[in-house]
Amino acid sequence: MNVRPSLNQLGLSTGKKTRLYRILHQHGLRNGTAIFLPYDHGLEHGPRDFAGHPESGDPKHVLKLALEGGFNGIAIQIGLARKFYWEYAGEVPLVLKLNGKTDIPAPPDPLSPVNATVEEAVRLGADAVGYTLYVGSPAQERDFAQYLRVREDADRYGLPLIVWSYPRGAAIDAKGGRDSFYAVDYAARAASELGADLVKVNFPQPDKQSGVPEAYRRGFSSQEAIDAVVQSASRTLLLVSGGDHAGDEVMLEKARQSMEAGATGLIFGRNVFQRSHYESLRLVAQLKDILAKYPS
Amino acid sequence: MNVRPSLNQLGLSTGKKTRLYRILHQHGLRNGTAIFLPYDHGLEHGPRDFAGHPESGDPKHVLKLALEGGFNGIAIQIGLARKFYWEYAGEVPLVLKLNGKTDIPAPPDPLSPVNATVEEAVRLGADAVGYTLYVGSPAQERDFAQYLRVREDADRYGLPLIVWSYPRGAAIDAKGGRDSFYAVDYAARAASELGADLVKVNFPQPDKQSGVPEAYRRGFSSQEAIDAVVQSASRTLLLVSGGDHAGDEVMLEKARQSMEAGATGLIFGRNVFQRSHYESLRLVAQLKDILAKYPS
Amino acid sequence: MNVRPSLNQLGLSTGKKTRLYRILHQHGLRNGTAIFLPYDHGLEHGPRDFAGHPESGDPKHVLKLALEGGFNGIAIQIGLARKFYWEYAGEVPLVLKLNGKTDIPAPPDPLSPVNATVEEAVRLGADAVGYTLYVGSPAQERDFAQYLRVREDADRYGLPLIVWSYPRGAAIDAKGGRDSFYAVDYAARAASELGADLVKVNFPQPDKQSGVPEAYRRGFSSQEAIDAVVQSASRTLLLVSGGDHAGDEVMLEKARQSMEAGATGLIFGRNVFQRSHYESLRLVAQLKDILAKYPS
Amino acid sequence: MNVRPSLNQLGLSTGKKTRLYRILHQHGLRNGTAIFLPYDHGLEHGPRDFAGHPESGDPKHVLKLALEGGFNGIAIQIGLARKFYWEYAGEVPLVLKLNGKTDIPAPPDPLSPVNATVEEAVRLGADAVGYTLYVGSPAQERDFAQYLRVREDADRYGLPLIVWSYPRGAAIDAKGGRDSFYAVDYAARAASELGADLVKVNFPQPDKQSGVPEAYRRGFSSQEAIDAVVQSASRTLLLVSGGDHAGDEVMLEKARQSMEAGATGLIFGRNVFQRSHYESLRLVAQLKDILAKYPS
Amino acid sequence: MNVRPSLNQLGLSTGKKTRLYRILHQHGLRNGTAIFLPYDHGLEHGPRDFAGHPESGDPKHVLKLALEGGFNGIAIQIGLARKFYWEYAGEVPLVLKLNGKTDIPAPPDPLSPVNATVEEAVRLGADAVGYTLYVGSPAQERDFAQYLRVREDADRYGLPLIVWSYPRGAAIDAKGGRDSFYAVDYAARAASELGADLVKVNFPQPDKQSGVPEAYRRGFSSQEAIDAVVQSASRTLLLVSGGDHAGDEVMLEKARQSMEAGATGLIFGRNVFQRSHYESLRLVAQLKDILAKYPS
């Protein structure tokens, strides 16, 4: 188990520390942990992600869920932020997601193009910005260039930068896939070396060993894997993603192991909103019970 | 049926609201609905679109049609705007279409390059700008980058941004085609998340099911499909395109269903000008009869 | 036959009108028509275009020809403009050609890269700038982007923009070729919609019908074709190119038909300078006899 | 043997000389030689480089090693610099590495994209910046463009620029490989002509002769090869890399030959930190014993 | 034979004329002719070009050669200029070569990327800048764009621009090769039209006729060919390159013919420095004997 670093250790500017303090200590459980609600599925996958629960397609409904559930922040694209956030401005922190893409074409060199700016995030009163980095994509050159501009702007305005660090591309597929311990560990470290303040990763799967480097084939347990990932992220705060729908018990166990490993929190989307309002709130309560055990 | 959102709910800046109010409440039926006349066919398809009705190739003729028909706006490229709009400046709102392309090459990665700026739209007294986004094109990366610059400029100057949200590319062709319910629904949502103020889509065809995701294969009616599309656009005002020539009755029925679903209006080009002047005006009158039933 | 539009109808800025008035009414026949001498063959084809008439390779010789022939302007690249125009500054209007290329490689996506700026044209006292647009080229995206910057600068400084609107690329070859009525008609319209002040096209050949759209296969005469092209250009003044060497009679007849159709003038290069000085001046006199019949 | 040039001979600006003087004469042995600790493996190879010695994955541990070992500088990426260097600010010189990449994809045209700026290096109190140039890569055009911007900024702010000059790409593989005398000699010279202040190269291997130019096939000794490389770098100070793990004796012998040839110092990463803390310090002491014999 | 144009005829700005006057009339023979020493082989070919004469790899040695030989200028890259020119500042004119590349990869679309700026040339006290243009390369679009920026900056600061006009690429290879009369003639003209002040070409070889246009197949003599090339360059001063090692007599004869044709001078690199110091100076003396016969 690792000790979660304090905000004072992270080399943060005053602006970034102010906003991270607000997110971690003045919202949610106010104990230094966090649970975020990402809601960019309409762009990333299309409205099909709302099938079965049509109210989940209504941004107003999801914003209310973020409020009622006591989330530490909601991560949305510029269009929804402008049209819907004004009604709830300040009530729940806004994480403006700065890039995104549709999943219609499936290019060999995935890249998530920027569609909003840090300046717009400031203008909207956001407390953080989000950027998806496709670690391992052959588009690395263009991705890093685009990322650099975002990171510089986030620094200039003092907004914490959350990197969605996602392993992608044929080389990743050939080396254990996007959720292998190897891929997730590398993604966490890359985001850290590249200057992310927080990094969102999927829970690592140490049993995916086909094609991964020798060092990852030693029969690690889930707990050992997530421990190592938190260490690799070093002073970059780690958020663990809910990923695809899994059974609730499996999901809660992963959340527990993540927090045990020193993660700062969770970022759960479809797992939360693809159920009835009541069920959503019940799951969130369970997740917050876990977070409550890991104050910092 | 959905309730069309009021201008006060859209999170609009003062400049955008001023101009949208002017378009929706001081032109056309002045009841919050709209009918637009797009006229960029000379660039998009070449003069062949004017064959049979040569006067339709004369921008002055079409501008007069927009005036006589009481349209809420005419959407044209910079060249025609500069050479012809000065004669009718202010009489009918100008929507400056900022990008466009010829249909001569048929690239696998369609993109509509920008050929005019928002600043020019301001200089010409335009009340809105238009941008064609090819949702699903492999050129998504360059398209989003170009779109971002347009959107930022539109925000800076307070001009409403109308997105022509057009599904395109091989992946779209393989998933039901450009007019499938799936494609149109995704296109409406993508434009909304990306910050469009209004979105122009084709009428969805729920019977195009080959290759579409499961959620779109449940035997939806036309009305259900357009209802869902309006919902997906959430607070982005929806304009339905006339598309290719269809029989007048079919077209009028689609217009009726669109307005019933909560669309804000219609945007009809070839369907309107590819007939005699008298016939054009007669069709426009019929369309406005429909709009008249859906004031907001 | 069309009526050539007056300068007052074109929506021109004061600067553009000043310079166009100077070109059309204070040089050449001073009657609103124009004949231009393009001389960029050394870059576009290399010195081989001067073979047989080596004095034609000397820019000073050709500038004197422009003066003695009473041309309305000479169109040259920046290098020749800087080294030779100072001797004749103001005596004959300068059209600075802003882009160009060698014909050595034959890329599938032709584009004419910019090698000089509108600001340089202003500095040199030019009265107009020229830009080659390859309509139909797969490089359309880059071409439009480059063109936009040129057009904006021409607007900023009030310099008329002459577009060399040239159909090019495999799709054009498959649809009747670069001189088909279809291709020339589309090229004229595209330039007009994109904001050209004048457009240079080749004379349309209505008998090239293989692969052209239905609307162009109705057995049009030459006169009908050029009439339509002038209409498609609407308020963009049309200049007809001499093209490759043809017999003098054919060439004069095309010039006659062009002016009859409402063109503003002619732009003849090799047809003029690839002969003895005496023969050049004789041909120019014949062309001006035609222009003299179409004052505006 | 060559004589190492003095700082006064290098044509340095005052700012660059100040910082180079600080690195070479106020840290390490303070005798004009240098040993640097590069630590960007987490980005370049992923956390697998820390396997076996997990404490080496902790940037704080490695910074302490740099301090205890008396290094002349530590070269790290922006993320680690911001999160960890503040604790040791000024105690050991910081070399901010401005570009880097993951090794997941293996593109045919390697390029190391920039992820931080010279301005950030200044802001962090760095005494130098590092840039990886892939000499021989087909990405040369983009690499040189990116490099030029970095070099200009380094000049503007007076920060010495260390170029990691690495032969790469298929053409290099076909001409003796990345460590051949030919490749290393060319890489040193290219960096020098392109304006590097210091250049990091691998130790040349004169026995790799397959495909190298005639001039490199004359049976050179190691010492002759490294002598020539130092000459090719002329007034660019040469740093020799430890490269992959080799036996300690071999490594020490290469260090000795490098210093004998007139190199300014060493830059050793994995060879140093992939051992126990005690062993690391012992190796560093041995290397510094060598450096001590070559003061300037 | 042509008459070399005087500086007053070239349309030069005051700054450019000042510096050209200094180069042509205050250095070398001070008679309006010039001999330049290019020394960028370490970047273009690597240190192998110095084999056999290792002192030629030392920039200081070559600078002294330029001084002792009484050259009108030395053309070097930024790195050598900064590290070595300060010792001889002002004693021999500096031509800062702004672009260059290694010859390791052999791309089908050669382009020489810029690695220094005109502003740096000004800062270093250079009297001219050099740019390599690969006429005929499929990279023409990127090359012209890059060249335009250099030319504009050279104009802004009043520095003469010398274009290394080199035919390159598959199309050139198919049309007689890079040294054919056709290719060299086109290259000279292209540089002239694109605004070069001086142009460096190889001596044309009229016997290379395979694939060249008809106009170049008429059995021209060497003298006729170089005469035509000087004419094609019109008011752009022509410098003839020494090219690959040829016998001294052949080389001197080419120099004689070039000057007879109206060239301004010579630019000889390997032919000069790839010999003993004594032999270098002897050859330079012979070349200057030729130049002395063509004062202007």
Q: What is the pLDDT of residues A76-92, one digit of tens each?
A: 999 999 999 999 999 99
pLDDT digit string, tens, across residues D178-213: 999 999 999 999 999 999 999 999 999 999 999 999
Interchain pair D148, E100: CB under 8 A: no
Chains contacting E (3 or more CB pairs within 8 Å) = C, D
Q: Mean pLDDT score of chain B, rounded to an integer?
A: 96
Under 8 Å between Cβ of B33 and B24: yes
Check whether D1 has a pLDDT greater than 70. no
Q: Count the alpha carbons within 13 Å of A1 in the hemisphere toward its beta carbon.
A: 10
Position D56 confidence tier, pLDDT thresholds 50, 70, 90: very high
Three-class SS state of E250:
helix
Closest CB from E10, E11, E215 relative to C48: E215
- What residues have CB less than 8 Å from A142, skipping those under 6 apart? A111, B141
Q: What chain D residue is nearest to A13 in terms of C-alpha separation?
A: D82
If DSSP codes are grouped into helix, strand and coil, which group holds residue C168? coil
Check contact A-D (3+ Cβ pairs < 8 Å): yes
Residue A242's pLDDT band, with cuts at 50, 70 and 90, is: confident
Chain A residues in contact with B189 (beta carbon < 8 A)? 42-43, 46-47
pLDDT, tens digit, for every residue of E23-46?
A: 999 999 999 999 999 999 999 999
Could you give phi then psi for residue A7, rounded to 5 degrees?
A: -60, -30
pLDDT tens for each residue of E49-108: 999 999 999 999 999 999 999 999 999 999 999 999 999 999 999 999 999 999 999 999
Q: With the CA atoms of D128, D131, D136 and D142 taken in that order, what torsion angle do they form, in degrees rounded to the nearest 10?
A: -130
Over residues A105-119, the mean pLDDT reads 97
Closest Cα in chain E, distance from residue D37 (Å) = 26
pLDDT, tens digit, 9 for 90 and up, residues D141-175: 999 999 999 999 999 999 999 999 999 999 999 99
Residue in E79, E77, E55, E59 with CA at minimum distance from that of residue E67? E59
CA-based Rg of chain A, rounded to a whole angstrom? 18
3-state SS assignment for residue E128:
strand
Looking at the predicted structure, is the pLDDT value of residue C1 above 70? Answer: no
CA E129 – CA E202 distance, rounded (Å): 19
User: For C161-194, how does the pLDDT look when each residue is reduced to its tens digit (9 = 90+)?
Assistant: 999 999 999 999 999 999 999 999 999 999 999 9
| Candidates A9, A171, A216; nearest CB to D104 | A171
- The DSSP 8-state label assigned to residue A118 in this structure reads H
Q: Where are the alpha helices (DSSP H) in chain E?
A: 14-25, 41-44, 59-68, 78-84, 118-123, 140-157, 170-174, 181-193, 222-232, 248-260, 270-273, 277-291
A98 in contact with D, Cβ within 8 Å: no
Q: Tokens at residue D184, please?
A: 């290393």
Q: What is the pTM of this model?
A: 0.96
Determine the Cα–Cα distance for residues C215 and D211; give it in Å rounded to an integer: 62
Q: Is the pLDDT at A1 greater than 90, yes or no?
A: no
Q: What is the mean pLDDT of residues D109-124?
A: 98
What is the average per-residue pLDDT within E192-211?
Answer: 97
CA distances to C189, C208, C234, D60, D96 from C228, rounded to whole Å, are 10, 16, 10, 76, 65
Mutant choice from C49, C102, C134 vs E, greatest count of E C-beta within 10 A: C102
When scoring E49, E102, E122, E270 by the number of chain D Cβ atoms within 10 A, the one with the most, hence best to mutate, is E102
- Cβ–Cβ < 8 Å for C49, C42: yes
pLDDT at A203: 97
- The answer to whether E93 faces chain D, any CB pair under 8 Å, is no
| Whether C13 contacts C156, CB under 8 Å | no
Residue D149 in contact with partner chain E when CB distance is under 8 A: no
Summarize the confidence of residues C132-138 as an average pLDDT: 98
Chain position carrying tokens 């008439």: C53
CB C163 within 8 A of CB C133: yes
A166 classed as catalytic: yes
Mutual angle of helices B248-260 and B277-292, in 10-degree steps: 30
Per-residue pLDDT at C2: 79
Please, what is the Cα angle at C102 between C96 and C108, to 5 degrees?
115
Tell me which long-range contacts E288-293 makes (C-beta under 8 A, separation of at least 24): E288/E28, E288/E29, E288/E35, E288/E70, E290/E252, E290/E255, E290/E256, E290/E259, E291/E28, E291/E29, E291/E31, E291/E33, E291/E34, E291/E35, E291/E259, E291/E265, E291/E266, E292/E29, E292/E31, E292/E33, E293/E259
Q: What is the pLDDT of residue D146?
A: 98
pLDDT the model gives residue E189? 98
**What number is the average pLDDT over the span D281-288?**
97
What is the arithmetic mean of pLDDT over E285-294? 98
Segments of chain B scoring below 50 in pLDDT:
none
Whether ipTM tops 0.90, in short, is yes
What is the rounded average pLDDT of the residues C48-70? 96
Question: Distance (Å, rounded) from C-alpha B138 to C-alpha E94?
Answer: 49
C57: nearest CB among E138, E140, E232 = E232
Residue carrying the six token digits 């045990």: A260
The 3-state secondary structure of C91-118 reads CCCEEEECECCCCCCCCCCCCCCECCCH
Arithmetic mean of pLDDT, C84-98: 97
Tokens describing residue D96:
């901010």
The overall average pLDDT reported for chain A is 96
Residues facing residue E73 across a β-bridge = E36
Interval D78-96 mean pLDDT: 97
Q: Looking at residue D242, what is its pLDDT?
A: 84
- pLDDT bin (cut points 50, 70, 90) of residue E243 is confident
How many contacts (CB atoms, under 8 Å) link C and E?
Answer: 116
Which residues of chain B are within 8 Å of residue A85 when distances are taken between CB atoms?
Answer: 11
Which candidate from B83, B86, B117 shows the least CB-CB separation from C234?
B83
**Neighbouring-strand partners of residue E131:** E163
pLDDT value for B2 = 79
Whole-angstrom distance, CA of residue E10 vs CA of residue E173: 33
Whether D11 and E114 lie within 8 Å, measured CB to CB: no
Q: What pLDDT does residue B1 have?
A: 61
Catalytic member of C16, C97, C175, C200: C200
Which residues are bridge partners to C128 per DSSP? Answer: C95
Q: Is E185 on the interface with C (CB under 8 A)?
A: yes
pLDDT number for residue C28: 98
pLDDT of residue D2: 79
- As beta bridge partners, residue A135 has A167
Quick one: pLDDT at residue E1?
A: 61
| C145 near E CB under 8 A | no
Of E52, E57, E114, the CB nearest to D231: E57
Rounded-to-integer distance, Cα D76 and Cα D96, Å: 6
User: What pLDDT is stored for residue D256 in this prediction?
Assistant: 97
List the single best residue of E134, E163, E189 to mutate versus C (max C Cβ within 10 A): E189
CA nearest E237 in C: which residue?
A: C83
How deeply is D163 buried, as exposed, middle or buried, from its count of CB atoms within 10 A (0-12, 13-18, 19+)? buried
